[in-house]
Amino acid sequence: MEERLARQEATTEELYEKKEKLEDEVSGLKGDVEGLELHLKKSEQEKQTKDGQIRTLNEEMARQDENISKLQKDKKQMDQTIKQTQESLAAEEDKVNHLNKLKQKLEQNIDEASTT
């Protein structure tokens, strides 16, 4: 009976030692879980910050795209105006050249008439 009691005491002591080890391990794991939860919370906050920055940048890109579109439209209109102005200028230059030729002919006719 004493032998049995000694074995049970030894088993009980062994179980208490295992229990203490397991409690220490559980405590360590709880600390790890708390650390991971804190890291997760921080990561979620960073994600929200980055999402806000991305949203802001996307809005800015949309505004820039709108400005680019307006500027391209303005450029097209200016190109058309320049083309029309150049065409008008060419037509006016043609008229000036024609009038200069007529003037030269008239001056020649005057010179010929005054010499005769």
* CA dist., res. 102 & res. 104, Å (int): 5
- Tokens 């790890």 correspond to 32
- At 3, the pLDDT band (50, 70, 90 cuts) reads confident
**For residue 105, how many C-alpha atoms fall within 13 Å in the half-sphere facing its CB?**
6
DSSP letters along 19-35, please?
Answer: HHHHHHHHHHHHHHHHH
Looking at residue 36, the DSSP 8-state letter turns out to be H
Torsion of CA 83, 86, 88, 91, to 10 degrees: -130
d(CA 8, CA 4): 6
Q: How far apart are the first and last CA of the chain?
A: 167
Phi-psi region of 105 (alpha: psi -120 to 50; beta: other; left: phi over 0): alpha
Please name the residue that has the structure tokens 């320049």: 82
**pTM of full prediction above 0.75:** no
Residue type, 4: R
pLDDT of residue 14: 93
Task: Encode pLDDT of 34-80 as tens digits.
Answer: 999 999 999 999 999 999 999 999 999 999 999 999 999 999 999 99
